[in-house]
Amino acid sequence: MYLNCHSYHSLRYGTIPLEDLIAQAVELNISAMALTDINTVTGIYEFIKECKKVNIKPLVGIEFRDNNQLKYIGLATQFKGVGEMNRFRTKHNFEQTLLPSKAPNFENVICIYPIDSIPETLAENEYIGITSEQLIKLYDAQLKAKISKMVILQPVTFRTKKEFNLHKILRAIDNNILLSKLTESDYCSTSEVMISEKELLEKFSDYPEIIENTLKVIDSCNVEFEFETPRNKKYYTNSEESDIALLTNLAKQGLKWRYGDYNSQALQRVEKELKVINELKFSGYFLMTWDIIRYSNSCGFLHIGRGSGANSIVSYCLGITDICPIELDLYFERFLNVNRKSPPDFDIDWSWKERDTILEYIFNRYGAEHVAFCGTNVEFKYRSIFREVGKVFGLPKEELDVLAKNPMSLHDGNKIVKLVQEYGMLLEKYPNQRSMHSCGIIISEEPITNFSVLEMPPKGFPIVLFDMHVAEDIGFEKFDILSQRGIGHIDDTVKLIEKNRGIKVNIRDTSISKNEALANSYLSIGKTIGCFYIESPAMRGLLRRLKCNDYITLVAASSIIRPGVAQSGMMKEYIFRHNNPDKFEYFHDVFKEQLGETYGIMVYQEDVIKIALHYGGLPAADGDILRRAMSGKGRSKAALQKVKDHFFECCKAKGHPEKLSTEIYRQIESFAGYSFCKAHSASYAVESYQSLYLKVYYPIEFMVAVINNQGGFYRTEVYIHEAKMSGGNINNPCVNNSNFETTLYGIEIYLGFMHLEGLESRIAQFIVKERETNGNYLSLEDFINRVPIGIESIQTLIFIGAFRFTGQSKNQLLVKARLIMVNFKPEDRSWTLLQQPIKEYTLPVLQRSDYEDAFDEIELLGFPVSCSPFDLLQTKFRGDVLAKDLLKYHKKTVRMLAYLISRKQVPTKMGTMYFGTWIDAEGAFFDTAHFADCLKKYPFQGGGCYLLLGQVEVDFHFPTITITKMAKMPFIADPRYSNSSDREFKTQQNLKEDVSSTQRQPYPQEHEINLPRLKMN
């Protein structure tokens, strides 16, 4: 009897989670109900599935609203009706037009109008909804005459009084107003709750015709949906046969390209894979991916195919991936097997600058009606909850900041804050707004509006209103079209090398970079700043601990750094066994046979599967449950628990000792969490090698490319430092030599205007465009005449030294700029001024300290360029020890002077600690550890130079200083403010640091890992 129910997918309106809505209906013995969320079908698929499980007849539709005004409710009589409503709502979404007051002529949809908005005429499929409170209106003769078209309307929006209050809070958030400013038209009626059918029918007992009409509507709505049917585009060509023929031909061509004229092992594997691909009808999926790659290559773009797709030799032969599965013993079944019903999932990365071009091609190639991004629900999160809820209660920004940034235990205990906390916690995990999935694209056989309303976000690509999990559930597999800055680093470096040195580097040929000798030497000492995936302090420390100097070890390192492996303690054990291969035994032969490459340690998702299958003898179906538990589609110990009992039964049947089986399952269970499949790690390793090769042989070009791709793990300053250490000469922005991005001429690096605080992007772009069109700027006067710029922006450019080509000092230029700008009128700006002789000004000679430039740079760039931060210190002391000598000081106390690069907050059982990364006076990197007790006395005080005292600990070739004391060192007084004592020491506060944190559980200590190193019988 419920034709109008809202779940919390009615964003900022409904308060009931979908499963709770259905549970309430079961409790009240409801036999039929409709989900009609506002302007969306987000929840209908889960609703249909869950209602069928509990024998409730599901009706699905949309409540159409504009500006919170209810226009009408649509209910699909069959699934085609969902598509009709989707297309109608999508059209108005795209055109940004208001809905008409009368619904269109739907063919498979019943429309219900609110009683206060009835059209003059009603079609056969149109009704009037009336609530029990509105029955009194039937005393009006005109309304009473329409009873034959009336149905029961008992909207459901909330469950309890508290949820009604929550609904009002959501409405205030949506309207961006105070709770006290809401009017009755902003929120729902207090009666919009679910009651029993018996109670509802009693309210309408005097109007049997309305009840009969309602039952008639329910009977008319019979939506069936087949969840198992694949929905992706079926064929790349026009038939299955021609797809198979084309794929086979392309694979054979690629086989020759990758392996030469004859390689029996590769040929056998290609034929085996093609047979499975054919059987599973996935040829079209492979070909569509190949087509995208073909287009990318034609544009000269670099891509990285990664993920489990790299297990496929067909993918390798098609050029989708660059990982040879034979070389790494990657098995195809991890990617695709006859038991798998859903299509494979390729993850492909492009440079963030080129990804949109790829997306445009996909949308154009396969048609706007058939392509869309997956949606995602952006939930109310801790910070946003307290900001949003606190705002509607009228709290000022300062209090909102305190609530958002601090745990609840530190919040004020006043009445308002308690209300914010109470209702805020109710909102946790509620969807707040819909957004675009970062990379997932659906290419559909049918028009996508058959399944979802589409929205057009500012990005310009349409999105469906359900997420990737629902997409998979209803038969779609997404294409992951990703972007990352790492590929931008590689791509731009290659272009810079050709432009700057005239050398063409074929970085696509991974044989030149993978396992290259000098690159390996850099790898083993962690000299990898700027290189994708291997530049973080944690990763560089791991590389040094492993003395990682080959591809296979890098592949393993790429996975053991992941939280699942590290958290289980297997990272520490791997490091030990790698460095001490003669100090452990494989505690069962299966581990030696299956995991010999990783010293019997489970490092990859496949390792867990191998042990479960080869030791436990689990069937393939349970193996797939394990795989999914290790992957993003089911990361949880709960998924592993499902096969636990069966595992022990199988082990007992095979005669394994219970103690051994218990230990093995303990390892499997501890591994449940974030981890990589081996192919994924291999893909990352190949890309890391490409970056590293370019850094080793073309370091200046590489670092400029990193800077122009807006860095990676660290801030821009760190990459500029690395460019300088690589032999580059760093120059401040110059109006005649700089572009918006950083520019390279030989070894001369000119910082881009994009790095200047206070210079508008629009002005920066104009400076470059004007110079390219009409030549270099001849003087300050010439610049002012040609560029529409105000005095503040001119001063910024003067202070950074952008007019140093004039030969005049900054002070002279500042005076001249003000003299020119006093009487300068923008309308006088023209080329005629250039023909006139430039007026000479007699300028006073003003003395300027050498350090003023450095302080200007700190203020405008965030770091000094003309000197080192160490040069600005009051002290001349540079420490007793340098980073290059730390390995000699194991267990000894050292004093070092260092500049702070980054710090990472991590939890431990003793409290919060930090890991710091620094550079010494020679520019070399080193690392520190700061425990909770030390931090209480000697906390970090922002960016800058510190004096450090601590004990050196060398852990497998990697030195770390455990800090016992530290103090921030003061700079000299800023000479620009010599007459202002309160500002002399403020500029150094502009120095930055990179701060990150993690909420993971503390890593186990060595004695807690308890991984057996002896054979178990």
At 668, the pLDDT band (50, 70, 90 cuts) reads: confident
228 pLDDT more than 90: no
From the list 658, 678, 751, the residue with the least C-alpha distance to 307 is 678
Q: Rounded mean pLDDT of 803-813?
A: 92
pLDDT single digits (tens) 754-788 = 999 889 999 999 999 999 999 999 999 999 999 99
User: What is the spatial distance between Cα 968 and Cα 940, in angstroms, rounded to a whole number?
Assistant: 8
For 833, other C-beta atoms within 10 Å of its C-beta total 15
pLDDT single digits (tens) 952-1005 = 999 999 999 999 999 999 999 999 887 777 788 888 889 999 998 876 666 666
Query: Which one is predicted more confidently, 663 or 20?
Result: 20
Strand positions, DSSP E, 875-1005: 893-908, 911-919, 925-930, 945-955, 958-968, 994-997
pLDDT single digits (tens) 139-177 = 999 999 999 999 999 999 999 999 999 999 999 999 999
pLDDT recorded at residue 437: 77
387 pLDDT more than 80: yes
Distance of CA 383 to the CA centre of its chain: 18
Q: Rounded mean pLDDT of 830-845?
A: 55
Question: In degrees, to the nearest 5, what angle opens at C-alpha 653 toward C-alphas 649 and 656?
Answer: 95
Q: Rounded mean pLDDT of 423-429?
A: 89
Place of tokens 């002399």: 984
884 pLDDT more than 70: yes
Average pLDDT of the chain is 90
pLDDT single digits (tens) 490-521 = 999 999 999 999 999 999 888 899 899 999 99
At 672, the pLDDT band (50, 70, 90 cuts) reads: low
pLDDT recorded at residue 844: 62
834 pLDDT more than 50: no
Query: Which one is predicted more confidently, 461 or 720?
Result: 720
From the list 758, 763, 756, the residue with the least C-alpha distance to 792 is 758
User: What is the spatial distance between Cα 1015 and Cα 1017, in angstroms, rounded to a whole number?
Assistant: 7
At 113, the pLDDT band (50, 70, 90 cuts) reads: very high
634 pLDDT more than 70: no
pLDDT recorded at residue 341: 60
Long-range contacts from 983-986, C-beta under 8 angstroms, 24+ separation: none
pLDDT recorded at residue 247: 97
- CA torsion through residues 396, 399, 405, 407, sign: negative
837 pLDDT more than 80: no
User: What is the spatial distance between Cα 350 and Cα 304, in angstroms, rounded to a whole number?
Assistant: 7
Sheet arrangement for strand 463-464: 303-306, 347-351, 479-484, 431-443, 371-379, 463-464, 454-455
Sheet arrangement for strand 57-66: 2-5, 32-35, 57-66, 69-76, 109-114, 126-130, 150-152
832 pLDDT more than 50: no
pLDDT recorded at residue 702: 97
Long-range contacts from 871-879, C-beta under 8 angstroms, 24+ separation: 872/971, 872/972, 872/988, 873/897, 873/945, 873/969, 873/970, 873/971, 873/972, 874/969, 874/970, 874/971, 874/972, 875/969, 877/947, 878/920, 878/921, 879/920, 879/921, 879/947, 879/948
340 pLDDT more than 70: no
pLDDT recorded at residue 1008: 59
Is residue 445 within 8 A of residue 234, CB to CB? The reply is yes
Q: What is the pTM of this model?
A: 0.84
| Residue percentage of the chain with pLDDT more than 70 | 93
- The phi and psi torsions of 464 (rounded to 5 degrees) equal -80, 165
Least confident of 333-342, 417-426, 527-536: 333-342
SS3 (DSSP) at 761 = helix
Q: How many residues does the chain have?
A: 1017
pLDDT recorded at residue 1001: 63
Is residue 731 within 8 A of residue 711, CB to CB? The reply is no
900 pLDDT more than 70: yes
- CA torsion through residues 611, 615, 621, 626, sign: negative
Sheet arrangement for strand 729-731: 729-731, 748-750, 743-745
pLDDT recorded at residue 564: 67
pLDDT single digits (tens) 446-503 = 999 999 999 998 777 899 999 888 998 898 888 888 888 899 999 999 999 999 999 9
User: What is the spatial distance between Cα 829 and Cα 812, in angstroms, rounded to a whole number?
Assistant: 23
Q: Rounded mean pLDDT of 21-36?
A: 96
pLDDT recorded at residue 665: 84
User: What is the spatial distance between Cα 325 and Cα 327, in angstroms, rounded to a whole number?
Assistant: 5
Burial of 335 (0-12, 13-18, 19+ CB in 10 A): buried
1007 pLDDT more than 90: no
| Residue percentage of the chain with pLDDT more than 90 | 67
Q: Rounded mean pLDDT of 791-807?
A: 95
pLDDT recorded at residue 1002: 62
251 pLDDT more than 60: yes
Token pair of 932, please? 């909770």
Question: In degrees, to the nearest 5, what angle opens at C-alpha 394 toward C-alphas 393 and 399?
Answer: 100
746 pLDDT more than 50: yes
405 pLDDT more than 80: no
Residue 1002, CA distances (Å) to 251, 675, 807, 906 in order: 47, 17, 58, 7
SS3 (DSSP) at 260 = coil
310 pLDDT more than 90: no
835 pLDDT more than 50: no
Task: Please give the span between the terminal C-alpha atoms of the chain, in angstroms, as a whole number.
Answer: 66
Is residue 267 within 8 A of residue 326, CB to CB? The reply is no
The runs of H, that is alpha helices, within 596-697 are: 605-614, 620-630, 637-641, 644-653, 658-671, 678-697
